[in-house]
Amino acid sequence: MRLYVDSRYVSPYAMSAFVALREKDLEFQLVPMELDAGACREAAFAKASITQRIPTLVDGGFTLSESSAIAEYLDDIYPGTPLYPAEPEAKARARQVQAWLRSDLMPLRHERPTEVVFYRPTDRPLSAEAQASARKLLAAAGELLEHGRQQLFGQWSIADTDLALMLNRLVLNGDPVPDRLATYAKRQWERPSLQLWVNQKRPAPQNA
């Protein structure tokens, strides 16, 4: 089994797929790709990944891209820690959270890229548009984690990893976040499977 990821280990989607594999306690080879050099367009990878995107999982003769699809596949096929809630409504909500985090909040994602999480914070203030995205994120997270919940659905799910990463774009950059949401993000960040990704050896930051 192989997982193709970005060579800087900053992709939130590669991180999510990596955590899913670790939670399932599966043996796999991590294959870093030099995205800036066009590695995803090389013929061998293009043949393995229909969409030419990372993360891509190779499991025997089967290949699959997109982190949420990878997590669902692993949960369907392999035993180990459940990645999604068993209850249908909670499972649907987890998928909703993942889809939302991957398709919305663009100004925040642009102004607080994952480099502020894995490399160094920025002193650039958020624009009005990014502040609006941050308010939307915090309002949704507050509702999802009402009544002091420490996980989204009573026990850990892969959606917790994805939400914690988005919150940590603010938390680890020193932007204001309500204490209970910052505490939630910190607790999720301490999960051993996630710490293995956080502690990957990364190349020197660009424009250092």
Question: Looking at the domain covering 88-191, what would its CATH class be?
Answer: mainly alpha
Q: How many other C-beta atoms can be found within 10 angstroms of the C-beta atom of residue 3?
A: 22
Mean pLDDT of the chain: 93
DSSP 23: H
Domain ranges of the chain: 2-82, 88-191
CATH dotted code for 2-82: 3.40.30.10
Per residue in 63-98, pLDDT (tens digit) is 999 999 999 999 999 999 999 999 999 999 999 999
Per residue in 113-147, pLDDT (tens digit) is 999 999 999 999 999 999 999 999 999 999 999 88
Q: What percent of the chain has pLDDT over 90?
A: 85
Tokens 């894995």 locate to: 118
Measure Cα distances from 168 to 110, 138, 148 in Å.
Answer: 14, 11, 18
For residue 208, is pLDDT > 60? no
- ω into residue 55 within 30 of 0, thus cis? yes
Whole-model pTM: value is 0.93
Q: Please classify residue 161 by burial: count the beta carbons closer than 10 Å to its beta carbon, then call 0-12 exposed, 13-18 middle and 19+ buried.
A: buried
Parallel/antiparallel/unpaired status of strands 2-6 and 29-33: parallel
Once rounded to an integer, what is the mean pLDDT over residues 183-192?
A: 97
Per residue in 37-67, pLDDT (tens digit) is 566 677 677 677 778 888 999 999 999 999 9
